[in-house]
Structure 1
Amino acid sequence: MLQNLHVKNLALIDEADVEFGEGLNILSGETGAGKSIIIGSINIALGEKAPKDILRKNAEFALIELTFEIKNKDTIKHLKSLGVEIGDDNLVVISKKIKLNRTVSRINGETVSASKIQEISSFLIDIHGQHEHQSLLNKKKHLQILDEFAKRRITGIKEELSEAFLSYRKLIVERQNANMNSEERNRELSFLEFEVNEIEEANLKENEDEELEEKYRFFSNGKKIIEKLNSVREITNGEIDGVAELLDKAMYDIQFVVNYDEKIQNLTNELSEIESLVNDFNYELSNYISELDFDEHEFYELDSRLNLINTLKAKYGRTISDILESYEEKKKRIQVLQEYDEYINQLEKNINKEKEKLDKLCMELSSIRKEASVELVDKIKAALLDLNFLDVKFEMNFGRTKDYTSDGFDDVEFLISTNPGEPVRPLQDVASGGELSRIMLAIKTIMAQDDDIETLIFDEIDTGISGRTAQMVSEKMDLLSQLHQIICITHLPQIAAMANHHYLIEKSIETDSEKNEMTVSRIHSLNYDQSVKELARMIGGVEITEKVIESAREMKGLAKDKKKSR
């Protein structure tokens, strides 16, 4: 679950530190107080792009830090498989530091990419945004919901189907690109044969270019090499003032001294070794120079060979390996063009074979989906009745797409009727905003029953509802919080009354150390009396009378009784 949220220098928040608890966590406050910033900060930390103006005025950076305590063993296993280091405390800390020119994301102190954060967070938290229920107006969402509901039954076959679809599409594209008349074939064949012959005549060898380039560098600097080596020989073995001549003179002088003082015999021996080394060096150097041969003809052939290789590289690839690979591909293409009719016939057979396989997998997947849809529809209908749909019909219609897709050929759509005697119709033709919110809540509740994700966030799930419906939504939220940690932003007192933990977000004008006024959003954890007072504000608006306070206490008490009875 999300244990802690720390935010600094983000929009209206100078610094906030929130400890969330188990069960139902409610966030409430006046419109514009900054509730959306709290959820927005969580989204940003989990990989969403930060808006340009998100930094608080005059701040050098913003920081968001989320601390999750992982209780589910399967989730820990998944996270470890993704490379997340988790200690004995089972904590995962996700942080994001935002500067003007860059952002840095970390997981348990290790810098990671935004895509990695998103992948990991999908196991930790599910966020239902303010307008997510609008996605139900898109039929593609209906198939996603069904597949999510049936994922344990369809994961294997969907992976197999996806691979089959890619193979099928590859063959279709190959067939489309293969359409050409005899004149086009002959023209391409002639060109390919010329290219193959050009590469064959070059008789290339792997890494040949590297050896030739090394030789070329040596040859192209041949004159300088000779000059420098002769200079070295003159210094070490010159007839006048050469190192060898000077050493010979030194040996003569030191031998004279040895006759009078045997103590320097060791120095004499060392000087003799040096003289011997210099003589050996001069001998080897002279041999090396005598063997040097800068043949102009050989240099010309070397230069020509390198020019040929570089010309082929410009045409067929950056390396000799690339050229040889291109050569093999061209030979295969020549064979295809020479046996074109046979190639087309085989291609058609392969397409039909792959199509049969794909069709079989699509049929199997569709059959599983239809079976799962019966169960899903029944559960959604029951959940909708719990959410004050008095007389509701809910169905899922199965059609077929025009062509195969990586998800099969099912084209599914939710259908609903909320009035007795009226036929079921698509959601976009019937459902209001409030009804869509409740439908989405019903779906989330059903999905959560088998979901390992520990934390669910609902940002104003109560759009367009009130009265008895609001009470039933609050009970559904409370029921959901028995299985998951719920963090919910709401304007409805019925939902807020169910809170296990209640937080108030307020906006105020404060003065800094330089007496500049600034707008600040703050979040506070409320005790019982403070929660009652906030409920009273939500019930009564501007004027909070003693009767409104009493109504808030009663609402809180009824919620407590409902929890106990459950």
Structure 2
Amino acid sequence: MLTELSIQDFAIIEKISITFNDGLTVLTGETGAGKSIMIDALQLLAGGRGSAEYVRHGASKAQMEGLFILDTNRHQINETAYQYGIDVQDEMVVLHRTITSGGKSICRVNGKLVTLAILKEFGKQLIDVHSQHETQSLLEPANHIQLLDLYDKERISNVKQEYTRLYEKLITLQMRYKELSENEQEMSQRLDLLKFQHNEIEQASLVPNEDDELEDERSQLANFEQIYNGLLDAYNALYGEQKGLDWLNMASQSLQNSQEYDTFINEKAEEMSNHYFLIEELMYELRSYADTLEYDPQRLNEIESRLNEISQLKKKYGSTVNEILEYLGKVEEEIEQITDKDSHLAKLDEQIEDIYQDTCLEAKQLHDLRKKAAQSLTKNIHQELKDLYLEKTSFSVSFDTKTGHGDRLKLHKNGFDHIQFQIATNPGEPLKPLHKIASGGELSRIMLALKEIFARHQGITSVIFDEVDTGVSGRVAQAIAEKILQISSQSQVLCITHLPQVAAMADTHKLIKKQANNNRNSTVVEELSKSKKIDELGRMITGAKLTDTAKDHATEMLELAADYKKNNG
């Protein structure tokens, strides 16, 4: 959840720092006090498009920073962090964005500089902003297939994973087929290059591990004198009268003379005798190896020349001789493919057809699972719509399949399904795409119904509603309040509202207001106590002067909201 938000020199906000709690937090205040500006700041923090116009007049830059606490170390954002080398400790993520007066953006995640695109990747997993005037991810047809898959993730994910594996293999084969079958001139040039590389490597007559063996031999020849003298010195220290081996022999004889009188000496005499023979054998091996050594300056020159030749090849084809030989194998294979193109195209065509058929089978299984998921989702959506007094509204998941030449299925990364959520808001009307709904009030409620269902599947940390309750009143307003509260049980919810019914449901109520400071207006935030919450609700009810009747009504609304939470917690 969003734990703390700091904003400085942003629009009319000079400097504020707000602490947020779990559950439902409501932000209220007069129009122009800065409520929506705070939402704008959050959207920019999540990677939204910014400009120099957001920088407070007279300031050099605007800054926004948000601290998010993850509810689990298995949150999907950890994979994103790992992908970009960002350390996430104690399940904490800090997003920071600076917009300069020149319009430049500086973005950070946990202190590491990132691009705006990367910041957006983090933002979309942490913040989900819904407003009357912005196209939301829930309304975009391109996202509907992902949402449906999330809805029944337990059954769909394994099949989708296998489909993705086959689909990627299919695409790779198709690209290879296209490369071989198109552009004769490029293939001819490629063949010439491959033959040149093949000849260059072949002429070198490389042997596996040759570079390592030559390095070892060069090291020996370059340090011949030190190696030879070391062997002789070691040998001479052991062999001869009054030398190491002679002293060991004397020690062994001394122990043997007394071994029959003491069990310890008997044991050690045997050990000493064994050591003597081992050292004696080692001494002869040192001498024998020294006799095999021969300094050959001509061989050293040959090695240097050969290593230089190999070094030139390494710059082009691999960091070791073995890698160069592996590359040679790939070159030979590609040369064979190009020179025998027709045969390879025929083989590729067979492989493509086999993989295509397997991929279609997985896509069909995905389709069947999605159909079942769509039936369950439709049933759930209708129940949610009924709760919001949209019982006459019809919801449907539209499936479309595109075909190509010969009625072959056109596959894409998610299968062959093209999915779109559709709505008919009145009986007898045809179903229309979700994003083409005109009525603001209906759109708000439909969006809330969708959000209630998908909030538990999307793993979004914080959901922000910016005046989504505009244009409703009475029992619909109460239903919206209850639905927003239900969503807050799945994700932290921040809600800007003008409805007292929604504000009464809040776990935390914050008042946004303007105050004059040095002849300039600035936004401040106040967390309301129970008595001040009653006053604010009273003003929201009357819209003008606060009366005792309004305060009584506000008190009653808070009591009813508390009862609802208690009975539906």
Using the size of structure 1 for normalisation, the TM-score is 0.69
| Corresponding residue of 2:377 | 376
| Corresponding residue of 2:178 | 176
| Corresponding residue of 1:85 | 89
Other structure's SS at 1:178 match = helix
Q: 1:480 aligns with which of 475, 484, 487?
A: 487
Deviations along 1:507-555, one digit per CA (max 9) or x if unpaired, are 23310xxxxx323111111223322333344344355555555544444
Check whether the contact 1:65–1:93 (CA below 8 A) recurs between aligned residues. no
| Corresponding residue of 1:237 | none
Shift of 1:173: 1.9
Number of equivalent positions: 468
Deviations along 1:240-299, one digit per CA (max 9) or x if unpaired, are xxxxxxxxxxxxxxxxxxxxxxxxxxxxxxxxxxxxxxxxxxxxxxxxxxxx99xxxx9x
Deviations along 1:459-479, one digit per CA (max 9) or x if unpaired, are 222244333322210111122
How far apart, in 1, do the equivalents of 2:95 and 2:194 lie?
56
Shift of 1:335: 1.0
Other structure's SS at 1:407 match = coil
| Corresponding residue of 2:360 | 359
How far apart, in 2, do the equivalents of 1:186 and 1:19 lie?
66
Q: 2:521 aligns with which of 511, 519, 522?
A: 519
Other structure's SS at 2:52 match = coil
Check whether the contact 2:159–2:366 (CA below 8 A) recurs between aligned residues. yes
Query: Given residue 128 of structure 1, which amino acid in structure 2 is its aligned partner?
Result: H
How far apart, in 1, do the equivalents of 2:183 and 2:482 lie?
71
Query: Given residue 431 of structure 2, which amino acid in structure 1 is its aligned partner?
Result: V
| Corresponding residue of 2:239 | none
Shift of 1:429: 5.2
Check whether the contact 2:481–2:505 (CA below 8 A) recurs between aligned residues. yes
How far apart, in 1, do the equivalents of 2:50 and 2:437 lie?
36
Q: How does 1:128-207 map to 2 (within 5 A)?
A: 128-129=130-131, 131=133, 134-179=136-181, 193=195, 196-197=198-199, 200-201=202-203
Shift of 1:146: 0.6
Q: How does 1:487-502 map to 2 (within 5 A)?
A: 487-502=494-509
Residues 1:17 and 2:20 aligned together: no
Change (3 A) 1:307 1:32: farther
| Corresponding residue of 2:108 | 105
Deviations along 1:20-39, one digit per CA (max 9) or x if unpaired, are 23322101122332223323
| Corresponding residue of 2:425 | 418
Residues 1:528 and 2:530 aligned together: yes
Check whether the contact 2:138–2:450 (CA below 8 A) recurs between aligned residues. no
Residues 1:393 and 2:394 aligned together: yes
How far apart, in 1, do the equivalents of 2:49 and 2:430 lie?
43
Query: Given residue 451 of structure 2, which amino acid in structure 1 is its aligned partner?
Result: K
Query: Given residue 150 of structure 1, which amino acid in structure 2 is its aligned partner?
Result: D
| Corresponding residue of 2:516 | 509
Deviations along 1:332-384, one digit per CA (max 9) or x if unpaired, are 23212332332121111110111011101101111111111111111111001
Deviations along 1:21-76, one digit per CA (max 9) or x if unpaired, are 33221011223322233233334444556543444445466554434455557549
The alignment yields a C-alpha RMSD, in angstroms, of 4.3
| Corresponding residue of 1:541 | 543
Change (3 A) 1:28 1:364: same
Query: Given residue 141 of structure 2, which amino acid in structure 1 is its aligned partner?
Result: K
How far apart, in 2, do the equivalents of 1:183 and 1:20 lie?
64
How far apart, in 2, do the equivalents of 1:76 and 1:193 lie?
48
Change (3 A) 1:38 1:334: same
| Corresponding residue of 1:559 | 561
Deviations along 1:158-210, one digit per CA (max 9) or x if unpaired, are 222222111111211222232269999788756754664466456689999xx
Change (3 A) 1:187 1:372: closer
Other structure's SS at 2:468 match = coil
Shift of 1:324: 7.0
Deviations along 1:94-136, one digit per CA (max 9) or x if unpaired, are 15263746736353xx536467766666665544355455555
Change (3 A) 1:546 1:66: same
Residues 1:4 and 2:8 aligned together: no
How far apart, in 1, do the equivalents of 2:459 and 2:184 lie?
61
How far apart, in 1, do the equivalents of 2:10 and 2:98 lie?
9
Q: 1:427 aligns with which of 425, 434, 455?
A: 434
Check whether the contact 2:45–2:65 (CA below 8 A) recurs between aligned residues. yes
Check whether the contact 1:133–1:440 (CA below 8 A) recurs between aligned residues. no
Check whether the contact 1:133–1:437 (CA below 8 A) recurs between aligned residues. no
Query: Given residue 379 of structure 2, which amino acid in structure 1 is its aligned partner?
Result: D
Check whether the contact 2:45–2:66 (CA below 8 A) recurs between aligned residues. yes
Q: List runs of 5+ in structure 2 lacking aligned partners.
A: 215-296, 404-409
Check whether the contact 1:204–1:320 (CA below 8 A) recurs between aligned residues. no
Q: List runs of 5+ in structure 1 lacking aligned partners.
A: 212-291, 512-516
Bigger shift: residues 484-493 or 367-376: 484-493
Bigger shift: residues 518-527 or 541-550: 541-550
Change (3 A) 1:478 1:333: closer
| Corresponding residue of 1:26 | 26
Change (3 A) 1:46 1:557: same
| Corresponding residue of 2:338 | 337
Check whether the contact 2:130–2:136 (CA below 8 A) recurs between aligned residues. no
Query: Given residue 394 of structure 1, which amino acid in structure 2 is its aligned partner?
Result: F
How far apart, in 2, do the equivalents of 1:346 and 1:395 lie?
44
Query: Given residue 503 of structure 2, which amino acid in structure 1 is its aligned partner?
Result: A
How far apart, in 1, do the equivalents of 2:182 and 2:72 lie?
59
Query: Given residue 353 of structure 1, which amino acid in structure 2 is its aligned partner?
Result: D
Residues 1:406 and 2:437 aligned together: no
Shift of 1:84: 1.8
Query: Given residue 477 of structure 1, which amino acid in structure 2 is its aligned partner?
Result: I
Change (3 A) 1:75 1:171: closer
How far apart, in 2, do the equivalents of 1:475 and 1:541 lie?
22
Using the size of structure 2 for normalisation, the TM-score is 0.69
How far apart, in 1, do the equivalents of 2:181 and 2:377 lie?
47
| Corresponding residue of 2:350 | 349
How far apart, in 2, do the equivalents of 1:405 and 1:98 lie?
38
Change (3 A) 1:547 1:186: closer
Change (3 A) 1:190 1:95: closer
| Corresponding residue of 1:222 | none
Check whether the contact 1:10–1:54 (CA below 8 A) recurs between aligned residues. yes
Query: Given residue 130 of structure 2, which amino acid in structure 1 is its aligned partner?
Result: H
Check whether the contact 1:162–1:406 (CA below 8 A) recurs between aligned residues. yes
Bigger shift: residues 123-132 or 489-498: 123-132
How far apart, in 2, do the equivalents of 1:76 and 1:364 lie?
26
